[in-house]
Amino acid sequence: MKIKRKKRRAPIVPINSMSDIAFLLLIFIMLISLINYRKEVKIEYPEAEFQEITQADKNIEIWVDRWGNYFYNGHQSSISSVEGLIAQSVAENPSVRIHIIADKNTPYKNVNEVVEILKLLQHRAVSFVVKGASQ
């Protein structure tokens, strides 16, 4: 007696839903890339008449608030850790531009501490970030 075996169907992968998944992944990646990862400290900018725009992606920003607290990448740091970060960044890329962003009510001695670090490192690519007169 011969028993007939049933033929198994090959598994089917639904192609229609693949395009939906690819489209959703594309939207997700586009939204994630638009998020601004820059952390800012709320300060009152000093004013200036002349503005120069630099490349923001190649800058190091050191923030100084009105109480003399130092911030690097949005996180509060001591002046010694700021010195180490600046030294490391300058060693990796000597043409890096340092931006000093200080509140207009910050005592000059707090800003001068960062300037003294830059003088010790003999780094001259420095900008003081201000609010333009037209803003």
Q: What domains can you pick out in the chain, each with its CATH number?
A: 47-132 (3.30.420.270)
pLDDT in tens, 14-29: 777 888 888 899 988 8
Rounded Cα distance between 11 and 26, Å, is 27
Q: Are 63 and 75 in contact (CB under 8 A)?
A: no
Range in 14-28, 62-76, 95-109, 116-130 the model is least confident about: 116-130
* b (16+ CB within 10 A) / e for 70-89: bbbeeeebebeebbeebeeb
Q: Using pLDDT thresholds of 50, 70 and 90, give the confidence band for residue 135.
A: very low
How would DSSP label each residue in 44-76?
---EES------GGGEEEEEE-TT--EEETTEE
